[in-house]
């Protein structure tokens, strides 16, 4: 049972990282944001996995999206502090515009797979 638990935890972690990236990009599609504000927003989300979201998870996802060219930041000042305000790049916007269609197809494919494999 330990091996199965380990597999499921790893699978869940990979899935949550993907969901987090999509949520970040979706949030940035509506408006630019600071990482900490997004973290607070997502922790207040109705998705139970996001209530356990750590600061490092958020920053790792942002770093990954930035290195992939989907998001970029602009330095802003708030009082005496310099903050990175993120927004989608044209590449990120293109992906987000296609993501709903891709996501719905992926969910349908997963549902068919589960129904056929776990009868």
Predicted confidence (pLDDT) per residue in 4-55, tens digit: 677 777 777 777 788 888 888 888 888 888 888 888 888 777 666 677 788 8
User: What whole-number distance in Å separates Cα of residue 91 and Cα of residue 97?
Assistant: 10
Greater confidence (91 vs 77) lies with: 91
- The reported pLDDT for the residue numbered 91 is 94
The structural domain count of the chain equals 1
pLDDT in tens, 84-118: 889 999 999 998 888 777 777 877 888 888 888 77
Q: Which domain holds residue 50?
A: 2-117
Instruction: Give yes or no for a contact between 92 and 65, defined as CB atoms under 8 angstroms apart.
Output: yes
Q: List the CATH number of the domain containing 96.
A: 1.10.10.10
Q: What is the 3-state secondary structure (H, E, C) of 56-109?
A: HHHHHHHHHHHHCCCEEEEEEEECCEEEEEEEECHHHHHHHHHHHHHHHHHHHH
- The reported pLDDT for the residue numbered 47 is 67
- The reported pLDDT for the residue numbered 87 is 93
Q: How does residue 66 score in pLDDT terms, banded at 50, 70 and 90? A: very high
Structure tokens at 106: 């992926």
85: exposed, middle or buried (Cβ count in 10 Å: 0-12, 13-18, 19+)? middle
User: What whole-number distance in Å separates Cα of residue 58 and Cα of residue 46?
Assistant: 17
Structure tokens at 29: 């599609």
Instruction: Give yes or no for a contact between 107 and 101, defined as CB atoms under 8 angstroms apart.
Output: no
pTM score: 0.74
């Amino acid at each position: 049972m330990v091996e199965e638990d380990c597999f499921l935890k790893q699978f869940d972690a990979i899935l949550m990282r993907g969901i987090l990236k999509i949520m970040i990009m979706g949030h940035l599609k509506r408006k630019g944001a600071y990482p900490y504000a997004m973290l607070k927003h997502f922790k207040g989300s109705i998705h139970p996995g996001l209530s356990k979201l750590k600061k490092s998870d958020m920053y790792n996802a942002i770093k990954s999206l930035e290195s992939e060219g989907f998001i970029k930041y602009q330095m802003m000042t708030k009082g005496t502090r310099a903050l990175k305000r993120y927004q989608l790049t044209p590449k990120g916007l293109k992906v987000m515009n296609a993501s709903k269609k891709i996501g719905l197809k992926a969910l349908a494919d997963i549902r068919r797979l589960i129904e056929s494999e776990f009868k």
